Amino acid sequence: MIAETVVDTTALLSELLASLGLQEPPPGEVTISGRDPIWGARYPIGEAAAVVLAAIGVAVNDLWELRTGRRQKIHVDVRRAAASLRGHWYQLLDGEETPREDHLGLVYSDRYQCKDGRWIQLHGGFPHLGEGTSKVIGSEHTFESISAAVKQWDAFELEDALAAAGMCGVVVRSGEEWRATEQGKALLQIPPVQVVKIAASDPVPLPPGDRPLAGLKSLDLTRVLAGPVSGRTLAEHGAEVLHITSPNLPSVPPYVLATNPGKLSAYLDLSSPEDSDQLLGLVSEADLFVQGYRAGSLERRGFGVEELARRRPGLVYVSVNCYGPVGPWRDRPGWEQLGQSATGLAMGQGGPEHPTLMPAQACDYGTGYFTALGALVALGRRAREGGSYRVAASLCQTGMWLERLGMHCNPEDAVGLGDVSDLYVHYDTTIGRLSQFAPALELSETPPHWARPAVPLGTHPARF
């Protein structure tokens, strides 16, 4: 493997493949070029992303070999991998940026210092989260009011109060502190993505097709950003991905465009019995069911993993959330900022006096890649030995994996992307000329690409 990298990407890839039961690829099959720091992060997040993308390439190659008996060359450039961690910032519509809309000023999505001197990361970017957070801490919707209100709380007391109210908030911890928590201890026992066979069934051969995932169908019930990135990644390799969301849920339109390439997009409201029945019908056709709801939410509606695996033997059921599939925090809501702050990344990036988020969404995009990797591994196992599978990834599993790599980079040495014109792919869509970064993974025989452009939510009927 050719890699002038900060970390040993060869060893890291081997370790990741072994954790998922994947065989080492033949010598020379995988190359990783370039090095960090691309962004001003202390952690080698570009190289880490390149390793996960390379592992995706190996898993895709395994499926391609099942189809054709052939393998292909895999290459990942660290610059392109790092670029993918901020891709939505470079997205253009008719030549203009598509910046994120301002939800309640996003003043809640910041770190605030508490009475005891500790920092807490809040997140209230959507209206119901901002209003609920304000109610708990006793503030108005301004930075000054929130800062003053948080100063009246001890950090861990506020963390517990927010959790009890179903709101988002986590004390900024060091990696060592996080690993000492009950949640951290639970996550230490599992890899960054978990693949578990949950039921026996006959092997399911890959359907005919000229791409690695051609003919495979995936339901994508996720939003902002990790879950949708996993579906986008599957679509890059030919999967038919149908994104389903409720018309009643808030969204961030630029993020939708950034993560919906290659997908169909439809509305279903699961509070409607008719729509719920329609989704069950789609499950009967699907190979994968990917969901990003809080633990227990879909179970209460009849869409839990055991129920769907019983209805659809051979289903690969994928869950993605903030805090992981195990532990006392598994049902708490959370986002990128909380994943970084909980697992030690923010303290590592900025220090204990002024913890700072890394300048890229490494937990979100990294978790999206890990989620897709787990789905690919499960599909391969299903084809060879049969069975239904549960796949689980989370922002904190990814955060712990990144934090374990260590702080090898000086942010002052960051080189950035330079001229990004070579990174774009362009589509003419119903809403204008959409320019986005192309997939970062390179394959010699089946180049990853999106067969259809991104569309706004609810553009299509709810059918494959």
pLDDT in tens, 150-188: 999 999 999 999 999 999 999 999 999 999 999 999 999
* Phi and psi based region of residue 263 (left: phi greater than 0; alpha: psi -120 to 50; beta: remaining): beta
Give the Cα separation of 377 and 63 in Å (integer): 9
Half-sphere exposure of 112 (CA within 13 A, CB side): 29
Q: What percentage of the chain carries pLDDT values higher than 90?
A: 87
H-run or E-run covering 394: strand 388-394
8 A C-beta contact, residue 395 and residue 183: no
pLDDT at 333 > cutoff 90: no
Across the chain, mean pLDDT equals 94
Rounded Cα gap, residues 269 and 301, in angstroms:
11
Model confidence, pTM: 0.96
Beta bridge partners of 194: 392
Phi, psi of 301 (to 5 degrees): -100, 5
Separation of CA 254 from chain center: 16
pLDDT higher than threshold 50 for residue 387: yes
3-state helix, strand, coil in the chain (%, to 5): 40, 15, 45
Lowest-pLDDT choice from 12-21, 133-142, 144-153, 205-214: 133-142
